[in-house]
Amino acid sequence: MRNITFPQGDTVPVLGQGTWMMGEKPERRRDEIAALRLGVSLGMTLVDTAEMYGEGATESLVGEALDGLRDEVFLVSKVYPHNASQRGVIAACERSLKRLRTDRIDLYLLHWRGDVPLEDTIAGFEALVDAGKIRQWGVSNFDLDDMDELFDAPGGTACATNQVLFNLSRRGPEYDLMPWLATNRLPMMAYSPIEQGRLPTNGVLSEIARKRHVEPLQIALAWVLSRPGVIAIPKAGSEAHVRANRAAHDIKLSDEELNLLDHHFEAPSRKRPLEMI
d(C-alpha 9, C-alpha 67), whole Å:
26
pTM: 0.97
Q: What pLDDT does residue 202 have? A: 85
Whole-number average pLDDT of the chain? 97
Q: What pLDDT does residue 277 have? A: 86
d(C-alpha 272, C-alpha 84), whole Å:
27
Residue numbers annotated as active site: 53
Q: What pLDDT does residue 201 have? A: 81
Q: What pLDDT does residue 105 have? A: 98
d(C-alpha 69, C-alpha 66), whole Å:
5
Q: What pLDDT does residue 8 have? A: 92
d(C-alpha 69, C-alpha 63), whole Å:
10
Domain ranges for the chain, please list them.
10-264
Q: Tell me which residues of the chain have a pLDDT lower than 50.
A: none
Q: What pLDDT does residue 197 have? A: 86
Q: Which fold has domain 10-264?
A: TIM Barrel (3.20.20)
